[in-house]
Every structure is written in structure tokens, then in C-alpha cells.
Amino acid sequence: MEGFKALGLSYKNAPIEVREKVAFTEEEAVQFLSMLKDTLSVEEALLISTCNRTEIYFTSQDKVESKIISLIAAYKNLASGDLSNHFNLYERADALEHLFNVSLGLESQVLGDIQISNQVKRAYQQSADLNLAGPHLHRLMHTIFYANKRVVQETRLQDGTASVASVAVDLIKGFIGNIENPRIALIGLGEIGQNVLENLNSEEASITLVNRTKSKAEKLAGEHNTTVCDFSDLKKVANDNDVVIAAAATSSPILSAADFDAEVVHKLLIDLSVPRSMDSGLENVPGISLYNVDQLTERTAKARKLREQSIPDATKIIADELAGFSNWQSEMGVSPTIQRLKSALDQIRREELARHKKLSDSEMELLEVVTKSMIQKVIKLPVLQLKAACKRGEAETLVGVLNDLFNLESTEVEKK
């Protein structure tokens, strides 16, 4: 894809302190993509923002990479110089492969993370809604979704307990095992929060849901036999529960040491948010065990080992689908030549028929059918040869031959 590039910042090249500063909520992503569309010469764009990465994939014939980073910095009120060192640039084939790897979980901090697929689908929907997804991006994303389906069916890349939400639940189960009538609070009911809730359903514990939109918490409480607390009562929630999980979208911490009683006996805090919902100073409060996203992923070694064995198979699937996409791209490149050839032959056909004005209507109809069928058969071989030449990387030569033989470029000019 000519001009296709990616700017990526992830857990591999940026600590959580940087990642949380450039994380986009869904609403912010839409606003930023709109700004990108209005201010820069970008034809297509896709913004993926998760707890582990913020990446922008775009098509542009101009060098706009530094301008995009500056735009991110301006939107987030940051110094662009502080960000540029953390972004990697991928171009053309590297950008395509990187998007495949990210979308299928090969680049996730938790290898094979199943959540990334849904996050990529939502990002694609945003681009489509803003008319930032053209024919190439549409085809590319559907190829990626098909590749993901193959990975799920043909490999064990997503087997085992390895998502952040599932690892968090395993940690909670171990913590509440010796607590009589354990109490758990879940703050934030987005995709990750709901995953945690679903995984906690089998546990014998009192669960309280907290969400800015209370109606959403009440709806889920009815489905999962849990209680609801107001978002304004976070301090009470923090002190009344043995386990507090935060998966809320927030620009600054909503819980700090000041929100807890002076003496904390034993409490588990899990922060699944990026930016973080819990102040890092809570690590120093006696009686509190605090885990953030980066720390949780360290507990997935066993599942990762199982999944690592599937990397070669997943990589082969990606290579297969990338090859298919590249063939489609090449065929798209010769599509104008095919259309001009069809038009040129059809023009000859119509001119010849026009010379026979004495034919009856029924005879003319028969000739229309016969001549159109002949043109279809005549053009079939050149089209097949063109597509074969695309796969060999020799399409340009054959396009030149066809242009010379049928004077296609002149025909196109005359047509215009």
C-alpha cells in the first residue's frame, strides 16, 4: 500500500507513565481523528489506543509523521519532543505486517490477548464512520479479521489464562481464599470491567459495582446478582471492600492514600486502567497490595509459554494473508488497464455493429449477445495473464504491451 505508514508507541518502548499520557478514550479518538482529517493530508487513518499502546496507521503521500506527533502532543497538552523518542515509524510492508501482528495479539504484552481484536474492530468502525477508511483500509481490515479467525481455529495462540482481566481474577481468587464473606468492588464497567465481572461470577463473594453511568451498573447488577454504589461514594467503597478493582477511564487517579482509613488490615487493589485510576503512592501504604497492568502481565509466564509454541503457525497464517492482500493490491493497480481494454474492445464492437443498419431488431439483438460473448472470451486470457504477471511482479511490462497494442492511453484521453 503506497504511502501506508504507522506510528507506534507501546509497552516495548514507553513506560506506563508515558503511555497513560497519550491514551485515548473512544470519544477522544473520534475527536483526534477528525482533527487529523481536517488539518493534515491524510487519506486513510486508524487509531488504536489500549492500555499497552497508542498507534496511528495512516495513508499519505506526504511526510506527516512529525506533524502527527505534534498534533498528539497538542491534543494531550504535552511537549512533542518528549513523545517523539517513544514512537516507532513503520512504512509500507513493515506497517502492514505490524498491524497484523498487533491485531492478532502477537505484539500484546499478554501474548495472544483476545481483547485486542475487539479493540481493533472498534477502531476500524470509528475510521469508517469518519470516512477515513478507503478501499485499501477496508480490504486490509477484513483480511486481518479473517486471519484472526484462522488463528483462533488453527492454533493455540489464545489458549490458557493470559488476558489481563483473567489474570486479575486469578489473583483475586488466591487473595480471598481465606477471607470469610469476602467483599469485592469493581469500579468501571467497560469491556475489561465486564470481563472481570463475568470471570468473578462463580466466586462466593459480595460484589459491588460502581460506574459513572449508574444505569449501566444497575443493568449489570440485575444480570449478575450484585449490588450498586454511587460513583461519588468511592471513599466508602475503598474502605468497605477487601478487593477493589479499577477499570475506569480517567485522566487522573480517583483513589489515593487519603481515601483509606488510617489503619488498613489487609486489602488488595488492582488497577487495570491506563491512565492509572489508583495513585502509585498506595504501594507504600501498610496493609495494601497494589498491582497495575504491567505487574499483572508478569504473572502470565505459564500461559505465555503455551502460546509461544503457536507463534510460528500464527506467523505463517499472517504471511499467507499478507500475500493474498498484496496480490489484491497489485490487481487493483492494473484494474484501470483492464477497464480501458474492455472499453476499447467494446468500442470496436459497437462501431462494427453500427455499420449494419439494415439488420432487423431481432437480428441486432442476436448480434449483441454473440459479439459481447466473443469480447468476453477474447479478453479473458489477457486478464488472466495480467493477474499472473502481478504475482510475478511483472505487471508493468504487460501493461505497457497492452497499451501499445490497443493504444489504450490515447483512447482514454479521447474518451475524457
For 213, residues 6+ apart whose C-beta sits below 8 A from its C-beta are none
Output phi, psi for 184, to 5 deg. Answer: -125, 135
What residue type is 392 in one-letter code? R
Strands 206-210 and 267-271: unpaired
What residue type is 346 in one-letter code? D
E strands, 192-248, are: 206-210, 227-229, 243-246
What is the CATH superfamily name and number for domain 4-158? Glutamyl-tRNA reductase, N-terminal domain (3.30.460.30)
| Contact indicator for 207, 228 with CB cutoff of 8 Å | no
Catalytic residue, candidates 51, 147, 220, 290? 51
E strands, 319-374, are: none
CATH number, span 164-302:
3.40.50.720
Every domain of the chain and the residues it spans: 4-158, 164-302, 333-415
Q: How far is CA 138 from the centre of its chain?
A: 12
Q: What is the pLDDT along the chain (416 residues), one digit of tens a residue?
A: 678 999 999 999 999 889 989 999 899 999 999 999 999 989 999 999 988 899 999 999 899 999 999 999 999 999 877 788 899 999 999 999 999 999 999 998 888 888 899 999 999 999 999 999 999 999 999 999 999 999 999 998 988 666 778 888 888 999 998 899 999 999 999 888 988 998 887 778 999 999 999 999 999 998 888 999 999 999 999 999 999 999 998 888 999 999 998 887 799 999 999 889 999 999 999 999 999 988 887 776 667 788 899 999 999 999 999 998 988 877 766 677 777 778 888 888 888 888 887 888 888 889 889 988 888 888 888 777 777 776 676 667 767 767 777 777 655 434 44
Angle at 196 between CA 150 and CA 296, to 5 degrees: 85
Q: State the Cα–Cα distance between residues 248 and 277, nearest whole angstrom.
A: 7
51 as an active site residue: the answer is yes
